[in-house]
Amino acid sequence: MQQLKDRILKDGRVLGGGILKVDGFVNHQVDPALMDACGREFAKRFADVGATKILTAEISGIAPALTTGFHLGLPVVYARKTKPITMPDQVYLTLAPSHTKGRMVELIISPEYLANGEKVLIIDDFLASGATILGLARLAEASGSKIVGIGALIEKDFEGGRVALQSLGVPIESLACIKSLDDNKITFVE
């Protein structure tokens, strides 16, 4: 998606170690018009997968998941990283590594919002190693739900996440696929 690629080139910053800083428009400060365009694009790409819910991870995946949900007319559930007192005692929980936090984080979902038989579309900000998305898939499967598609705003092709997710057997779409962040330069897959 050219609009997203242009914004990454304009405002994204390579921090080294495979980290691309996009928090000025994706996940700390959000550009609503850009996220709406991304949600519309995901809705087109996943229109025929039969999703009944969208699943993402707190916090970075919420904006693209929400706009995708809006355009598909679907509710959005996000995995929490801490359990609030309002959540029931019995929850779905898994661990996943956080690239930006440099440690394992919990992903927690209440069974109130992800039930048996849902058809789940996972939308997240990044597809890097695939570990977070695999964690979300484990949560969905624990609930008895079925994954029907995976979408990422930005894929870091050089980290191999797409290969790690192929065993899920669902369509995987990214709106901007990065080939390299070497020498502090962002290079997209053509």
- So where are the chain's domains? 2-188
Longest distance between any two alpha carbons in the chain, whole Å = 48
Mean pLDDT across the chain, nearest whole number?
94
pLDDT tens figures, 1-48: 999 999 999 999 999 888 999 999 998 999 999 999 999 999 999 999
* Rounded-to-integer distance, Cα 101 and Cα 37, Å: 28
Hey, is 27 helix, strand or coil?
coil
The dihedral through the CA atoms of 146, 148, 151, 156 has a sign that is positive
What is the predicted pLDDT for the residue at 158? Answer: 96
Residue with more model confidence, 105 or 97: 105
Could you tell me which of 178, 176, 66, 159 has the C-alpha nearest to residue 121?
66
- Cα of 39 vs its chain's centroid, Å: 12
Strands 146-156 and 172-180: parallel
Q: Degrees (nearest 5) of the Cα angle 182, 185, 188?
A: 90
* Start-to-end C-alpha separation, the chain: 12
Averaged pLDDT for residues 161-187 = 97
Burial 23-59 (b: 16+ CB within 10 A, else e): bebbbeebeeebbbbbbbbbbebbeeeebbbbbbbee
Q: Which residues pair with 8 in a beta bridge?
A: none
Please report which confidence band the pLDDT of residue 160 belongs to, taking 50, 70 and 90 as the band edges: very high
pLDDT in tens, 58-71: 889 999 999 999 99
State which fold the 2-188 domain adopts: Rossmann fold (3.40.50)
Task: Assign 88 a pLDDT band (cuts: 50, 70, 90).
Answer: confident
60 touches 79 (CB < 8 A): no
Sort strands 119-127 and 53-57 into parallel, antiparallel or unpaired.
parallel
Q: Tokens 């956080």 correspond to what residue?
A: 98
Residue 100 has pLDDT above 70, yes or no: no
